[in-house]
Amino acid sequence: MITSFEGSFLLHHTKNKGDIAATKAIADLTLNRVVNRTIWVDKKGIHQKKYQVGDFDYYAVYLPDIDKVVYPSVNFSGCYITTKVPNSATPFYWWEDFIDFTEDAPKRTYKELGVDLTTRKVNLDSRIHTRKVERPSKAELQELVWEKPTTQIAKDFGVSDKAVEKWCKVYALIITNH
């Protein structure tokens, strides 16, 4: 999708993102005084050295979510560097560990960043209100089990006697046979 707008060309969105990332990386490298030593001029003219694969020690990675450039070593090729804490217990590489030129970085966990994935975000009593039959309290059930057999309690509540046995198990009550 290439369109023109008042004499300027708006290129495909992925090319624009790549151009922005390259520009941000070059600007950040220039601000940090990392000079390009592959082109030089002397009395014999302009000289240029072509890059080889082994010439690179670091990547300059632009992270558009936070508008930052990070510098992981080429050893991190194929690794994900995240800007948001993932909703997973799997360790991950955190972007702040790569602000400076980084040879090695620890894998982080959500706990190190102060996030607790195990915290329930719902009301703990909500399950009680979703039951078809309200379970009696421990004291009520203890009194009923002492007075009546479980089959009679089950009929009174409209549940099976197995359900009454499970209620007793949850409350750690002992069923006595009369």
- Is residue 93 domain-shared with residue 132, that is, in the same domain? no
Does residue 111 fall inside a structural domain? no
Does residue 148 fall inside a structural domain? yes
- Is residue 20 domain-shared with residue 93, that is, in the same domain? yes
Structural domain span for residue 66: 3-36+49-98
In 144-175, which positions are buried (b, 16+ CB within 10 angstroms) versus exposed (e)? bbeeebbeebbeebebeeebbbebbeeeebee
- Is residue 79 domain-shared with residue 145, that is, in the same domain? no
Number of domains in the chain: 2
Residue 7 has pLDDT above 70, yes or no: no
pLDDT at 4: 46
Does residue 178 fall inside a structural domain? no
Greatest extent of the chain over all pairs of C-alpha atoms, in Å: 111
Residue 10 has pLDDT above 90, yes or no: no
- Is residue 66 domain-shared with residue 150, that is, in the same domain? no
Does residue 64 fall inside a structural domain? yes
End-to-end Cα distance, the chain = 83
pLDDT at 13: 56
Band (pLDDT 50/70/90 cuts) for residue 39 is confident
pLDDT tens digits, one per residue of 97-139: 888 888 888 888 888 877 776 665 556 555 556 677 888 999 9
- Is residue 129 domain-shared with residue 91, that is, in the same domain? no
* Residue located via tokens 């030089």: 40
- Is residue 85 domain-shared with residue 11, that is, in the same domain? yes
- Is residue 11 domain-shared with residue 53, that is, in the same domain? yes
pLDDT tens digits, one per residue of 140-160: 999 998 988 989 999 999 999
Residue 91 has pLDDT above 80, yes or no: yes
- Is residue 7 domain-shared with residue 84, that is, in the same domain? yes
Does residue 119 fall inside a structural domain? no
- Is residue 61 domain-shared with residue 13, that is, in the same domain? yes
Does residue 154 fall inside a structural domain? yes
**CB distance 133 to 143 below 8 Å:** no
DSSP string, the chain: --EEETTEEE--HHHHHHHHHHHHHHHHHHHTT----SEEEETTEEEE----GGG--B--EEETTTTEEE-BBGGGTT--EESS--SSSS-BEEGGGGSS-BS--PPB-TTTTT--TTS--S-GGGGGGGSSSPPPPHHHHHHHHHHS-HHHHHHHHTS-HHHHHHHHHHHTPPP---
pLDDT at 1: 45
Does residue 103 fall inside a structural domain? no
150-157 vs 138-147: helix crossing angle, rounded to 10? 130
The tokens describing 177, both together, are 């046979």
- Is residue 92 domain-shared with residue 152, that is, in the same domain? no
- Is residue 156 domain-shared with residue 88, that is, in the same domain? no
Does residue 106 fall inside a structural domain? no
